[in-house]
Amino acid sequence: MPDPYRIWLSEVMLQQTTVAAVKDYFLKFTTLWPTVQDLAAAEDADVMAAWAGLGYYARARNLLKCARVVAAEYMGVFPSDRDSLQTLPGIGPYTSAAISAIAFDLPETVLDGNVERVMARIHAIETPLPTAKPELMALAQALTPLKRAGDYAQAVMDLGATICTPKNPVCGICPWRDGCEGHATGIAPELPRKLAKKAKPTRRGIAYVLRNSNGDWLLETRPEKGLLGGMLGWPGSDWSEAPVAAPPVSTGWEAAGMEVRHTFTHFHLILEVMTARADIDPDIGKFVPHHAFRPSDLPTVMRKVFDVAKHRFE
């Protein structure tokens, strides 16, 4: 039987993230923490550092919360039914269905982006997403078998990932080609249709990069709630149209000469990078010894800040 812990971990990592991006992270996590009890006992900072760069950091916070609930309340054994799974932190309808079907072979319907695309094309559904989601779920449920539901779920997801791809689907080798209404009518590559997205706004911010005479770096752990919650980062301003923030210490700050640009799900961000050297106790954050500082522990946008700022200290 597949390991529910590994199924859960992979499904959480794969939320809004590609297999290629997840592979190395999955291997790292399962090496460092091979069981859910191991993960539950891990230090928060170690888990957040191991997750750095994968994005959507609320997933990492919920990962720890969920592991600790499973370890403490379920004796390290994941429940098999969807209702119980959905009471766990960070597990919603999709993830609970995936765990139930793949790990426990229960007849639950797994509907991810790949399956939505396959259903939309097979049935030539022209209603745009996300409006079409309930209709696509009903069609997917009608095809879900009572036996080997986990194998079926993975097969349909793989079909969407490798053959019924978003662009240039390989209809010539598709096992469902003959019954596909989208292929028969010639509109398969256009499906699923999607509502037009609103343009992303642009926000600005300031990041302060400070070193002391020992070469230590001033960092802070961001508040648990909000973007990059619980992650290490550089002290800075809010991210808005007109950001305001007092620097962590009063000293001679200088602009690094280059802005950092990063795109989140809902907005673009432009950060001004300020640098300084000073041996002053900060109002915000704490100094991390230079030998313990690893840029890889930072989320992507904070690593970009480091890449811009580090040249000022060479």
What is the 3 state secondary structure string of the chain? CCCHHHHHHHHHHCCCCCHHHHHHHHHHHHHHCCCHHHHHCCCHHHHHHHHCCCCCCHHHHHHHHHHHHHHHHCCCCCCCCHHHHCCCCCCCHHHHHHHHHHHHCCCCCCCCHHHHHHHHHHCCCCCCECCCHHHHHHHHHHHCCCCCHHHHHHHHHHHHHHCCCCCCCCHHHCCCHHHCHHHHHCCHHHCCCECCCCCCCEEEEEEEEEECCCCCEEEEECCCCCCCCCCEECCECCCECCCCCCCCCCCCCEECCCCEEEECCCCEEEEEEEEEECCCCCCCCEEECCCCCCHHHCCHHHHHHHHHHHHHHC
Domain termination site, one of 52, 72, 104 = 104
Listed residues 84, 104, 124: the one ending a domain = 104
Is the pLDDT score of 1 beyond 80?
no
Summarize pLDDT for 15-50 with one digit per residue, the tens. 888 888 899 999 999 999 999 999 999 999 899 999
In a domain, 197, yes or no: no
pLDDT band at residue 231, thresholds of 50, 70 and 90?
confident
The mean pLDDT of the chain is 93
Which domain range does residue 167 map to?
113-190
CATH number at residue 144: 1.10.1670.10
Question: In the predicted model, what is the mean pLDDT of residues 108-112?
Answer: 94
Asked which of 170, 190, 210 is the last residue of a domain, the reply is 190
Rg (CA), the chain: 23
CATH number at residue 281: 3.90.79.10
Please indicate, yes or no, if residue 276 is contained in any of the structural domains: yes
Tens digit of pLDDT for each residue in 147-171?
999 999 999 999 999 999 999 999 9
The yes-or-no verdict on residue 283 having pLDDT over 90 is: no
HSE-up (13 A, CA, CB side) for residue 93 = 7
Task: Tell me what pLDDT residue 75 has.
Answer: 93
| Active site residue ranges | 11
